[in-house]
Structure 1
Amino acid sequence: MSDTMLRLLEEKEAACLIYSGETLLHHSQSIGVKPLLEFMEKYPEGYEKEDLLLIDKVIGKAALLLSVLLNMKTIHTPVASRAAVEAAKVHGVKLYAETVVPYILNREKNGMCPLEKSVLDTTDPKEALQNIREAIRILMAKKKDH
């Protein structure tokens, strides 16, 4: 990941930035896949340009497959999971990561991220979206129980 891209995250105080050329389309301080889901809501029919660039603090396989669904062609990140790197190769996405980790940790840092786990067995972006939504539904239900 180039220092310039990392500086953009810092300058804009963001966890995620989405560009089309020089135009900033989406800016989010949210973590995880939330910024990508927000972008999906903003452009439910997809964004017409094919030169989308994603700059994100962490890219796991869930985020990578959502990025494919959103037609991202290039991704810069300080940290990517090994599964995300493999999925990027499958889908022809240029993924630039400073560090590749075995997997993305959950928020408690004691195991695998549930969203990463939800997409381990697929490389299909549409199936991944369904799996991610179901995992989020389960996580939210657990949160309500506590």
Structure 2
Amino acid sequence: MNARLAKELLETHEAACIILRDGEIIFTHVGIGVKPLLAFMEKPIDERSGNLTLVDKVIGKAALLMAVKLGIRNIYTPLVSEEALDAAKVHGVRIDALETVPYIINRTNDGKCPLEQSVTGVYDPEEAFVKIKQAISELMKNTVTL
């Protein structure tokens, strides 16, 4: 597989995230951000073990560190941040991407993604997971519901 095939796979399955074990699709999700990885983390350990590969629309450092926590060592994506590539080198994760950007942009297109920002300077997946959950909690508090 390569990043171009990964993009086609995402489009074919109308997914934002696909996880494969030994080349077979075991998980698809349409959620944005790290939601798919959080959902996969809730699966029983035997369902998320083995030789896993992640195919995701966007890989920032937060998503990369969550993938490391899940034991994923191969990632294919259309878009990756420089910070994610840096963390991938630290953890021995192989990333194949179509495009590299300095950082992942937030949803309002006026700054850095808050989850990527939450793990600035962090390389430990466990510490990152705590910071990501804290950032999500803060974001949820600031969400206005009608």
Deviates more, 1:19-28 or 1:74-83: 19-28
Aligned twin of 1:99: 99
1:47: how far off? 2.4
Aligned twin of 1:127: 127
Question: Which runs of at least 4 in structure 1 moved beyond 6 Å after TM superposition?
Answer: none
**1:62-114 alpha-carbon deviations (Å, 9 max, x no partner):** 00000000011100001000000000000000011111100000000100000
Alignment check: 8 A CA contact 1:52 1:72 kept:
yes
Aligned twin of 1:8: 9
Alignment check: 8 A CA contact 1:46 1:70 kept:
no
Percentage of matched positions with identical amino acids: 47
Aligned twin of 1:57: 57
Please give the alpha-carbon distance, in whole angstroms, between the structure 1 residues aligned to 2:52 and 2:83: 21
Structure 1 position 143 matched with structure 2 position 137: no
Deviates more, 1:32-41 or 1:19-28: 19-28
Distance 1:130 1:45, change over 3 A: farther
1:23: how far off? 2.2
Equivalenced residue count is: 145
Aligned twin of 1:113: 113
Matched residue type, 1:58: V
Alignment gaps of 5+ in structure 1:
none
Distance 1:86 1:80, change over 3 A: same
Please give the alpha-carbon distance, in whole angstroms, between the structure 1 residues aligned to 2:18 and 2:136: 22
Matches within 5 A, 1:17-96: 17-43=18-44, 47-49=48-50, 51-96=51-96
Normalised to the residue count of structure 2, the TM-score between the two structures is 0.94
Please give the alpha-carbon distance, in whole angstroms, between the structure 2 residues aligned to 1:136 and 1:124: 18
Please give the alpha-carbon distance, in whole angstroms, between the structure 1 residues aligned to 2:7 and 2:113: 23
